Amino acid sequence: MMRFLREPLVQFLLMGGCIYLAYALFGTPEEAGEDMEVRVDASRIDGFISEWERRWNRPPTREEVEGLIEQYVRNEILYRQAVAMGLNEDDPITRRRMAQKLQFLTGDLLEGQEPGEGELEAYYAEHEGEYREADEISFVQVYFNPDGRGNATLDDATVALEAFRGAGVPDAENLEAGDRSMMRRSFESATEWDVGREMGAEFADAVMELEPGAWHGPVLSGFGVHLVYVFDREEGVVPALAEVKEKVFQDWREARQADFDAEFFENLKGRYEIVIDEVPEERMIGKGLRAGGGRDGREES
C-alpha cells in the first residue's frame, strides 16, 4: 500500500483532490451573484461547423457537432472554475499566452492591407542594402599549426609569407609549405557565411577585407595561423525591386505590423498608471554589487 501511495501519479491525484475539497468546504460561494449560464448560441455553433469544414473538408455529422458543443461547455466550465479559484493569477505562462493572443488579434487587422502608390518603392529605396547580394571571394590558404610549432608559429608564417610574395601566384610547392589539416585549402566564389561556417567568423571577417592578387597574413583563426592568397572578390549587387518584390512586400507588412503594435501598446499604456517599486541595485551588476567583487567592483575582505 505504501509503495502504491509513493507513485507520482497517485500523489498528484491526491493533491488535486485535496485542493478541490478545500475549495468546496472553505471557498467563498460567490456564484450566487454571478452569471452561471453557459450559453452556446447559434453564431458559436455556426463557427464550430465552419471550423470543422475548413479542417476536414466536409460537413460534420450531428454527433460530431454535439461533441464539439460538449467540449466547448466542458472547457468553459473548467475555465470559469479555474478563474474563480484564482488559478490564473500570477501564472507567467497564462499571462504570456493571453498577451500573445491579443497580439494575434491585432495582427489580423492588417492582414489584407496593401501598400499605397509608391509606398513599396519608397520602403525598398530606404532598405535596399538589406537585399544586396552577398560578396563572394575566391582564395587559397596555407595553414600553420601552433600545436606543433609552438611559439615559432608566427615567425614561421612570416618567413613563408616573404617567400610566397616573391614567388607570386600560388603553386604546388608553396601550397605544401604549411601543415596538413582537415580544413579546405581553397574556396571558390564563397560568401562570408560559407567561409565562416568552415573556418570561423573571425577568419571570414578578416579574409573578406583582403585585396585580390596578393598574399596576405598572418591571418588568425580558431585553428591557428594562415597565409592567404586572394584570387578574386566580387561585390554583391542590389537586385531590382521586381526581382525581390514578394520579399520586400512581406518585410513591408511586418514593419507596418511592428509600428502598429507599438502604437497600439502605447495607447493602451496611456490608460494605466504605471507604478514601479524601487529596484534593488545591490542585486544587479553595474551598480551596487558587481561580478567578481564587492560594491563598485572592489573585493570585500
SS3 at position 37: coil
For residue 34, give the amino acid letter. Answer: E
What integer pLDDT is reported at residue 6 of this predicted model?
54
Phi-psi category of 26—alpha, beta or left, where left has phi over 0 and alpha has psi -120 to 50? alpha
pTM, to two decimals: 0.51
Q: Can you tell me the distance from the alpha carbon of 134 to that of 128, in angstroms, rounded to the nearest whole number?
A: 13
What integer pLDDT is reported at residue 301 of this predicted model?
36
Low-confidence residues of the chain: pLDDT under 70: 1-35, 107-112, 279-280, 283-301
For residue 33, give the amino acid letter. Answer: G
What integer pLDDT is reported at residue 206 of this predicted model?
95
What integer pLDDT is reported at residue 24 of this predicted model?
54
User: φ, ψ for residue 133 (rounded to 5)?
Assistant: -65, 155
H/E segment holding residue 40? none
C-alpha cell at position 155: 615567425
For residue 41, give the amino acid letter. Answer: D
What integer pLDDT is reported at residue 281 of this predicted model?
73
C-alpha cell at position 13: 491525484
Residue-wise pLDDT tens digits, 265-301: 888 788 878 777 776 677 566 644 444 444 444 444 3
Q: Would you tell me the crossing angle of helices 119-127 and 245-269 to the nearest 10 degrees?
A: 90
